[in-house]
């Protein structure tokens, strides 16, 4: 048997939040080859998860047929479930059970014989580098480790087909690399068939075949090479003039959708895709001070092209130009003076040191990135800065005040967008905005005007229920809320985790224009390419500050290890930091 999954005219309809049915999977026909890695990619709401759940027999198709491993999965889900392994987006580890107990449970459920188990476990623990932690409760593991344990639990036996739903969301680059190493090894050694959905194009690039989904439809399929071909001849790198941040050039390019399909800052330069039908003189004019050179096309380029082609129908709000998308924030004081001062900051939980003697300063109007592996102390540092957690010792100043001790008014000058969606899900968009505007002291006509401006700026529908918005829109609402009172300083904790590349571009466009208007931005992220938007970044691991400087300086610091992009620079720096002391959890 050469195909693991064969779908024909597959359809699955749900009732939407507005009470109308919508097709999560719409007339999809596909065939997945055995013995290789297959990727499903697409923006939020493309139908990837629905399709995977149907393959796993957890949802029944409304129309069409779906055969998995030769069995009609709708007719005999258990027969399929006995042979496949499936790792949902949020793998259900039992947090109160230890690593070993979680593994044992799944081994028992899959009926793995004891004699095979020992060998399999030791291999899994070795591959995930978790042999030391078998007695630790799963809830006490960092996000990346949990994900690795989830994978180990799905792989306690060798399945005929492995289905992974976005295994790397919210996972740091190191753990992401480890996860893929495990999968790759199993594909190479055991000829494992794997279907994986992902938002990372570098992951899709490793696969034998890629299916691109959008709005429940299959937009394109083929090997990464074939897909990449779509962007051939259109991809370039532009070097910004000396002294100009790459993100300014990127903003200039991405604001011209008539000429440029996509642009991202990368390694001090800007990578962009031009329109095939574009007007050469106008593009040359746009790039007048930035020499552009062709570069090899990548899968991400093809993916962005496909999405832009089909994105229109979804009504993605693209800022027409930078000024429109910039909120009108009036900032007092000079650019460049430090607004955040952190000296010898320490935070301990019991005898565990989450943040060890950390010092840095952030200047007004700067975009400052705080990077680090899961569990490195980023979130702890972040929460101390926002006044949500007291420091054990050290000096901490935000806008000249310690937020934890400062009067309430001082808190009125900061905005905060948290890691997970943390607005009132059952309130409407307008109600959420009005509440937070009121909490920040606005009322009457001023409040109405500010809310209307926010709705307009972020292109939000005031009546929709916040909790039911798609991830990209939730993220916009969170931003709108964080900015409702026009703060001087904006804290963003993993704001782009789990949202698609298209929405991420829009998001960063807003951030860069805010910074241009003097708002100070502190941001954490797991997408290393996003660090390229920052003026300066800090890399933290095990509570210690390992690197601090401009993206260029940080790449330089890792230059010895041959790192070329931010992702490999990050991995190199963290590994260097861990070496002398041996690995720390």
Check if the beta carbon of residue 476 is closer than 8 Å to that of residue 319: no
Helices (H) and strands (E) in the chain, counts: 20, 23
Which residue in 170, 559, 534 sits closest to 373, CA to CA?
170
Q: Does 150 bind other proteins (CB under 8 A)?
A: yes
For other proteins, the closer of residues 77 and 551 by Cβ is 77
Binding residue for other proteins (CB under 8 A) from 91, 180, 458, 570?
Answer: 91
Q: With H, G, I as helix, E, B as strand and everything else as coil, classify residue 111.
A: coil
Binding residue for other proteins (CB under 8 A) from 29, 63, 70, 94?
Answer: 94
Check if the beta carbon of residue 161 is closer than 8 Å to that of residue 37: no
Shortest distance (Å) from residue 57 CB to other proteins = 7
Q: Does 10 bind other proteins (CB under 8 A)?
A: no
For other proteins, the closer of residues 231 and 391 by Cβ is 391
Give the Cα separation of 391 and 403 in Å (integer): 11
Give the Cα separation of 377 and 391 in Å (integer): 13
Q: Candidates 78-86, 284-292, 554-562, 566-574: pick the segment binding other proteins (CB under 8 A).
A: 78-86
Q: Order the strands of the 520-524 sheet from edge to edge.
A: 414-417, 489-493, 520-524, 367-371, 536-541, 544-549
Q: Does 160 bind other proteins (CB under 8 A)?
A: no
Shortest distance (Å) from residue 81 CB to other proteins = 5
Q: Does 495 bind other proteins (CB under 8 A)?
A: no
The site string for other proteins over 333-372 (x = CB under 8 A, - otherwise) reads: ----------------------------------------
**Contacts of residue 445, Cβ cutoff 8 Å, sequence gap at least 6:** none
Q: Does 427 bind other proteins (CB under 8 A)?
A: yes
Shortest distance (Å) from residue 89 CB to other proteins = 8
Q: Does 408 bind other proteins (CB under 8 A)?
A: yes
For other proteins, the closer of residues 240 and 415 by Cβ is 415
Give the Cα separation of 12 and 22 in Å (integer): 9
Binding residue for other proteins (CB under 8 A) from 3, 8, 100, 110?
Answer: 110
Q: Does 418 bind other proteins (CB under 8 A)?
A: yes
Binding residue for other proteins (CB under 8 A) from 412, 462, 470, 549?
Answer: 412
Shortest distance (Å) from residue 290 CB to other proteins = 39
Q: Does 503 bind other proteins (CB under 8 A)?
A: no
Shortest distance (Å) from residue 425 CB to other proteins = 7
For other proteins, the closer of residues 16 and 294 by Cβ is 16
Backbone angles phi, psi at 214, to 5 degrees: -155, 125
Question: Using CB under 8 A, which residues numbered 385 to 404 contact other proteins?
Answer: 386-390
Which residue in 181, 158, 180, 156 sits closest to 167, CA to CA?
180
Give the Cα separation of 348 and 346 in Å (integer): 7
Give the Cα separation of 301 and 224 in Å (integer): 11
Q: With H, G, I as helix, E, B as strand and everything else as coil, classify residue 288.
A: coil
Q: Which secondary structure element, helix H or strand E, spans residue 83, and what is its range?
A: none
Total residues in contact with other proteins, by rule CB under 8 A: 70
Check if the beta carbon of residue 568 is closer than 8 Å to that of residue 531: no
Binding residue for other proteins (CB under 8 A) from 232, 282, 343, 420?
Answer: 420
Instruction: Work out the angle between the directed axes of helices 429-439 and 471-482 (0-180°, nearest 10).
Output: 20
Q: Candidates 211-219, 268-276, 321-329, 427-435: pick the segment binding other proteins (CB under 8 A).
A: 427-435
Tokens 């507005």 belong to which residue?
18
For other proteins, the closer of residues 293 and 426 by Cβ is 426
Q: Does 327 bind other proteins (CB under 8 A)?
A: no
Give the Cα separation of 259 and 236 in Å (integer): 13
Give the Cα separation of 152 and 133 in Å (integer): 13
Give the Cα separation of 357 and 397 in Å (integer): 15
Which residue in 190, 225, 215, 369 sits closest to 298, CA to CA?
225
Shortest distance (Å) from residue 438 CB to other proteins = 3
Question: Using CB under 8 A, which residues numbered 41 to 70 contact other proteins?
Answer: 53, 56-60
The first and second tokens of residue 1, run together, are 């048997």
Shortest distance (Å) from residue 466 CB to other proteins = 11
Binding residue for other proteins (CB under 8 A) from 69, 125, 414, 563?
Answer: 414
Q: Does 254 bind other proteins (CB under 8 A)?
A: no
Q: Candidates 38-46, 174-182, 326-334, 405-413: pick the segment binding other proteins (CB under 8 A).
A: 405-413
> Please, how many CA atoms are within 13 Å of residue 38, restricted to the half-sphere of its CB?
23
Alpha-carbon distances of 132 from 126, 136, 275, 290, 520, rounded to whole Å: 10, 9, 52, 52, 42
Binding residue for other proteins (CB under 8 A) from 105, 219, 341, 471?
Answer: 105
Shortest distance (Å) from residue 52 CB to other proteins = 10
Q: Does 329 bind other proteins (CB under 8 A)?
A: no
Check if the beta carbon of residue 315 is closer than 8 Å to that of residue 215: no
For other proteins, the closer of residues 95 and 279 by Cβ is 95
Q: Does 93 bind other proteins (CB under 8 A)?
A: yes
241 Ramachandran zone, left/alpha/beta (phi>0; psi -120 to 50): beta
Binding residue for other proteins (CB under 8 A) from 189, 225, 409, 579?
Answer: 409
Which residue in 563, 561, 542 sits closest to 551, CA to CA?
563
Q: Which residues bind other proteins (CB under 8 A)?
A: 53, 56-60, 77-78, 81-82, 84-88, 90-97, 101, 104-106, 108-111, 137, 150, 153-154, 383, 386-390, 408-412, 414, 416, 418-427, 431, 434-441, 443, 481, 491
């Amino acid at each position: 048997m050469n195909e693991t999954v064969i779908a024909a005219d597959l359809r699955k309809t749900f009732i939407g939040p507005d009470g109308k049915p919508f097709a999560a999977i719409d007339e999809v026909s596909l065939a997945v080859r055995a013995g290789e890695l297959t990727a499903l990619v697409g923006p939020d709401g493309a139908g990837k998860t629905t399709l995977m759940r149907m393959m796993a027999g957890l949802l029944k198709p409304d129309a069409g047929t779906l055969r998995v491993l030769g069995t009609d999965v709708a007719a005999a889900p258990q027969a399929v479930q006995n042979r496949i392994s499936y790792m949902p987006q949020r793998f259900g580890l039992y947090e109160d059970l230890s690593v070993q107990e979680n593994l044992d449970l799944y081994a028992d459920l899959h009926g793995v014989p004891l004699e095979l188990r020992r060998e399999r476990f030791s291999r899994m623990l070795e591959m995930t580098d978790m042999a030391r932690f078998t007695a630790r409760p799963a809830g006490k593991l960092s996000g990346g480790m949990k994900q690795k344990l989830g994978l180990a639990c799905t792989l306690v036996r060798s399945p005929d087909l492995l289905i992974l739903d976005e295994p790397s969301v919210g996972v740091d680059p190191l753990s992401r690399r480890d996860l893929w190493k495990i999968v790759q090894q199993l594909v190479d050694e055991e000829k494992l068939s794997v279907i994986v959905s992902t938002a990372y194009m570098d992951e899709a690039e490793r696969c034998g075949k890629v299916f691109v989904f959008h709005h429940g439809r299959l937009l394109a399929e083929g090997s990464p090479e074939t897909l990449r071909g779509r962007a051939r001849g259109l991809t370039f790198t532009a070097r910004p003039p000396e002294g100009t941040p790459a993100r300014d050039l990127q903003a200039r390019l991405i604001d011209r959708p008539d000429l440029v399909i996509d642009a991202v800052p990368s390694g001090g330069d800007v990578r962009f895709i031009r329109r095939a039908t574009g007007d050469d003189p106008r593009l040359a004019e746009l790039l007048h001070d930035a020499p552009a050179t062709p570069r090899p096309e990548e899968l991400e380029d093809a993916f962005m092209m496909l999405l832009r082609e089909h994105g229109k129908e979804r009504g993605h709000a693209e800022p027409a130009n930078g000024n429109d998308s910039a909120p009108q924030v009036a900032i007092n004081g000079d650019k460049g003076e430090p607004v955040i001062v952190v000296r010898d900051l320490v935070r301990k939980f019991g005898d565990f040191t989450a943040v060890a003697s950390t010092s840095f300063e952030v200047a007004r109007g700067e975009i400052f990135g705080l990077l680090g592996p899961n569990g490195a102390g980023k979130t702890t540092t972040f929460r101390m800065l926002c006044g949500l957690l007291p420091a054990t010792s050290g000096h901490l100043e935000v806008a000249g005040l310690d937020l934890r001790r400062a009067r309430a008014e001082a808190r009125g000058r900061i905005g905060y967008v948290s890691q997970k969606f943390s607005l009132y899900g059952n309130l409407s968009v307008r109600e959420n905005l009005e509440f937070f505007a009121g909490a920040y002291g606005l009322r009457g006509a001023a409040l109405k005007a500010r809310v209307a401006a926010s709705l307009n700026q972020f292109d939000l529908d005031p009546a929709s229920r916040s909790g039911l918005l798609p991830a990209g829109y939730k993220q916009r609402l969170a931003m709108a809320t964080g900015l409702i009172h026009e703060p001087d300083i904006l804290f963003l904790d993993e704001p782009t985790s789990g949202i698609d590349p298209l929405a991420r571009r829009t998001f960063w466009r807003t951030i860069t224009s805010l910074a241009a208007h003097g708002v100070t931005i502190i941001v954490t992220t797991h997408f290393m390419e996003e660090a390229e938007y920052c003026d300066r970044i800090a890399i933290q691991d095990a509570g210690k500050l390992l690197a601090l400087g401009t993206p260029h300086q940080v790449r330089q610091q890792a230059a010895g290890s041959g790192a070329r992009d931010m992702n490999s620079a990050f991995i190199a720096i963290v590994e260097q930091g861990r070496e002398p002391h041996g690995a720390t959890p």
